[in-house]
Amino acid sequence: MMRISSILILLGLAILAVSCNADDDISLADTTDTFQGEVAWVKSYGGSGDETAQSVIETSDGGYAILGFTNSTDGELQGKVLPVNDYWLLKLDTDGNLEWTKTYGGSKDDRGQAVIQTSDGGFAITGYAMSDDGDGSNNNGFHDNWILKLDPQGNLEWEKSFGFSGHDHSYDLVQTSDGGFFFVGFLDITSALADGTYGKGNTLTRHGVGEFWGTKIDALGNLEWRRYYGGTNNDRAHAVVRSDDGGFVMAG
């Protein structure tokens, strides 16, 4: 039979799914030789502006959720008013057909970076934003970390912004065992000044331009703690996973 793999390759918002031939009783690990990279389907979504996809996950219903950002106001972005970057979330079925799409943002530059499906069937998305209007409620200067909790249909439940006076970016997140979230990215330590020394990871380290930044929030988005880690140059955390001991592993 033809089995569609869970591999998606994204270039902008062109989506390509590849497939492999395998019998039902053969594991994926045993089908390496039969994998041919055949195209199962290709989909493209967007408008006349610029679209960038940054994150894709398989959802519990066998479909997909894709997060990125767009400045289009036409095509699948009908109803979006301003030609500035907003977070853009798309929900697709198992064949790549569009089920729904949502944008989140304000009048400035807002860029979605990562999406996860949460334990309640909804979604949490993160990235960085300059807006303090529209869907955003606060900005401390330039880009701030901006995390949003959504219901299963993409409707906004709550949003929170975290940052200082410089460029503070969030690139990835995980849901924690207590129902909260941990997200990672980049802290502009030179602009944060004294604020940035809050909970730094190593008091013996002479910190430089930018740092790995990890933030723990509860299930409603309230800050529990945050830490930063790095050396004398520019350090950015782009990915995080939970570890078996209840901690986290960051990479960048």
pLDDT, tens digit (0-9, with 9 covering 90-100), for 61-109: 999 999 999 999 999 998 899 999 999 999 999 999 999 999 999 999 9
Residue 205 reports pLDDT greater than 70: no
Query: Does 5 lie in the same domain as 81?
Result: no
State the total domains in the chain: 2
Residue appearing with tokens 């709550």: 158
> Sorting pLDDT into bands at 50, 70 and 90, what band is 141?
confident
Encode pLDDT of 103-128 as tens digits: 999 999 999 999 999 999 999 999 98
> What's the order of all strands across the beta sheet hosting 64-70?
51-58, 64-70, 86-92, 98-104
Q: pLDDT-derived band of residue 189, with 50, 70 and 90 as boundaries?
A: low
pLDDT at 160: 96
Annotate the chain with DSSP letters as a single string: -EEEEEEEEEETTEEEEEEEE--TTS-GGGGGGGEEEEEEEEEE---SS-EEEEEEEE-TTS-EEEEEEE---SGGGTT--SSS-EEEEEEE-TTS-EEEEEEE--SS-EEEEEEEE-TTS-EEEEEEE--SSTT----SSS-EEEEEEE-TT--EEEEEEE--SS--EEEEEEE-TTS-EEEEEEEEHHHHGGGGGTTBS-TTS---SEEEEEEEE-TTS-EEEEEEE--SSB----EEEE-TTS-EEEE-
**Amino acid identity, position 66:** I
pLDDT at position 132 over 60: yes
pTM given for the model: 0.81
Q: Between 167 and 212, whose confidence is greater?
A: 167
Same domain flag for 91 and 180: yes
Domain residue limits at 171? 48-251
Q: What's the chain's Rg over C-alpha atoms?
A: 19
Pair 155, 184 in one domain: yes
Looking at residue 242, its pLDDT comes to 86
Cβ atoms of 191 and 141 closer than 8 Å? yes
Residues 26 and 108 in one domain: no
Say yes or no to pLDDT of 28 above 60: no
Q: Are residues 7 and 56 part of one domain?
A: no
pLDDT given for residue 91 in this prediction = 98
> Is there a single domain that holds both residue 12 and residue 71?
no
37 and 56 in a common domain: no
Say if residue 24 is in the same domain as residue 64: no
Q: What is the pLDDT of residue 118?
A: 99
Q: What pLDDT, on a 0 to 100 scale, did the predictor assign at position 18?
A: 63
Instruction: Kindly report the average pLDDT of the chain as a whole number.
Output: 80
54 in the same domain as 27: no
11 and 81 inside one domain: no
In terms of domains, do 38 and 61 share one? no
Q: Within 10 A of 84 (CB to CB), how many other CB atoms are there? A: 20
CA–CA distance, 236 with 210 (Å, rounded to integer): 7
Instruction: Of 37, 127, 144, 46, give the one whose Cα is nearest residue 90.
Output: 46
Provide CB contacts within 8 A for 118, sequence distance 6+. 124, 149, 175
pLDDT attached to residue 233: 59
**pLDDT score, position 14:** 62
Give residue 110's pLDDT.
94
Strand order in the sheet with 223-229: 169-175, 181-188, 210-217, 223-229
Proportion of the chain above pLDDT 70, given as a percent: 73
Predicted local confidence at residue 8, as pLDDT:
46
